[in-house]
Amino acid sequence: MSRRLLVIANDIPWPANSGGRVDVWRRLNALHNQGIEVSLLCWYDVGRNLACHDEAHRQLAATCKQLRVIPIRRTFGEILARLVRIFRLPSHAASRWVTTPAAEILAWAADIAPTAVLLDGLYGAEVAKLIAKTLDVPLLYRSHNVEHAYMRAQFDRATTLAKRLGLLANLVGLKRYERSLLLECKRIFDISVDDLRYWKASGIENMDWLPPLVDDEFCERMRTPVEGKSIDLLYFGNLHTPNNVNSVKWLIEKVLPRINQRTIKMVIAGSNPCSEVIAAIKADRRIHLVANPSDMTRLISAATVIVNPMLAGSGVNLKSVEMLFSNASLVSTSVGVSGLPPDVKACFQVSDDPVGFAENIMRCLTAPAHDNAKRVAARRYFSPEVVTNKISICLGELLDPKDATITHRGLK
């Protein structure tokens, strides 16, 4: 029997230039490669000049059998409609609900006749629930974070009034909304072993761990030789969200002054650096900014030490997973490796205070790491086959429970 999956994602996943987009994009391709017929409904933000151009459609259509991309224009009417719903829907969920032509999308989804609806991220939930209920198919959910905790951390670290107000509008009722959704889902795939334990302790069942995957293309690029280690210290990630901005500033202002080597070369690389990050980088001549790099893997391969100074968040930090596929020494805070199994965390030098973090960096610069069996074994969690098999098995159970080869057991 054909396996057809309708994926509903918060955001257009191509170009895959952020952790959230990369996670969705890699999973879509891996499911497609496994023979699952994947269709995609997603949104893109016109108001923030995130253009949905022809190349994006071409890339997505090559993987997705059917594709609908809905614009969020932030018109006065849209914003008013979101505000009217503020006590029922978090702002980010409302923005997707009020822009979706419900009758048209229901007809489109009915033509797909999906085996199941996979909600990939929280904020398309109203549309996903409507489709699943109308078509009488199971609703699956891929959780990226304990979203209310993640958004609270973003709010606490936001520095502008506009950003704080926007985040506050999304926080109204978010915890209640998130829990209510989990109770409605047939199966939940959580990105984080820590978040999974949190939800199960609160009475949410029918959950499984589904780590982010690292695709063969990324691994192949990582294996491409580079001439020497031209970067002593590397941080990579987006350079504009409050969590990342605070982490980069902590690294520059609290950690780097404790590293006395004047000749080290540090690179901070990532998308759309904000003014705070640019100003902080200018304070230390050892730091080189690489904005919007075309190929991050070249920088990762050239680094002796890679750091993840994350201070707050939930879910899994994708940069830590990708760091694991390098042959550099790895230094992180405990937040940077949260959500990962213990044997993966063991591949990192972990400290949460500036002194310990700096000492770990110095130690790794003096005695660079080598690829070893422990790291190779840890990488297996994130292979496309391991990750997509969990979804494939779930679809098999939904199609014919008697023929399912593996029953759902949750977190082992």
Topology of domain 217-380, CATH:
Rossmann fold (3.40.50)
Residue-level pLDDT at 217: 87
325: how many CB neighbours lie within 10 A of its CB?
A: 21
pLDDT at residue number 1: 58
Structure tokens at 266: 């540090």
Which residue type sits at 3? R
CB 82 within 8 A of CB 96: no
What pLDDT is attached to residue 411? 34
What are the residue boundaries of the structural domains of the chain, listed by start?
4-213+383-403, 217-380
pLDDT at 69: 94
Handedness of CA 127, 392, 148, 156 (dihedral sign): negative
Please count the other Cβ atoms lying within 10 Å of the Cβ belonging to residue 242. 21
Which phi and psi angles does 306 have, rounded to 5°? -120, 135
pTM above 0.85, yes or no: yes
155 contacts 171 by C-beta, under 8 angstroms: yes
Residue with tokens 């502008």: 160
Residue listed under structure tokens 């998308």: 271
Residue 133 CB partners (closer than 8 Å, separation 6+): none
Per-residue pLDDT, 197: 94
Show pLDDT as tens, one digit a residue, over the chain (412 residues): 578 999 999 999 998 877 888 999 999 999 999 999 999 999 998 866 555 678 888 999 999 999 999 999 888 899 899 889 988 999 999 999 999 999 999 999 999 999 999 999 999 999 999 999 999 999 999 999 999 988 888 888 888 888 899 889 989 999 999 999 999 999 999 999 999 999 999 999 899 999 999 998 888 888 776 777 899 999 999 899 888 999 999 999 999 999 988 889 999 999 889 999 999 999 999 999 999 998 889 999 999 999 999 998 778 999 999 999 998 999 999 999 999 999 999 999 999 999 999 999 999 998 876 657 889 999 999 999 888 888 888 888 877 655 444 333 333 3
**Cβ proximity of 341 and 213 under 8 Å:** no
Query: Residue 164 pairs with which residues in a beta bridge?
Result: none
- pLDDT given at position 63: 96
What's the half-sphere exposure (Cβ side, CA atoms, 13 Å) at 246?
14
Alpha carbon distance 287, 265 (integer Å) = 6
Residue 100, CA distances (Å) to 14, 23, 48, 96, 406 in order: 20, 24, 18, 6, 37
Q: Which CATH number fits domain 4-213+383-403: 3.50.50.60, 3.40.50.2000, 3.30.365.10, 3.40.50.150?
A: 3.40.50.2000
Angle value at C-alpha 146, between 292 and 269, nearest 5 degrees: 15
Separation of CA 193 from chain center: 15
At residue 407, the pLDDT reads 37
pLDDT at 405: 42
Half-sphere exposure of 395 (CA within 13 A, CB side): 22
Omega before 368 within 30 of 0, i.e. cis: no
Residue 202's contacts (CB-CB under 8 Å, 6 or more residues apart) are 179
CA distances in angstroms from 336 to 229, 316, 340, 348, listed in the order given? 24, 8, 9, 10
Cα distance between residue 303 and residue 266, in whole Å:
9
What pLDDT score was predicted for residue 371? Answer: 58
Spatial separation of the C-alpha atoms in residues 353 and 334, rounded to whole Å: 10
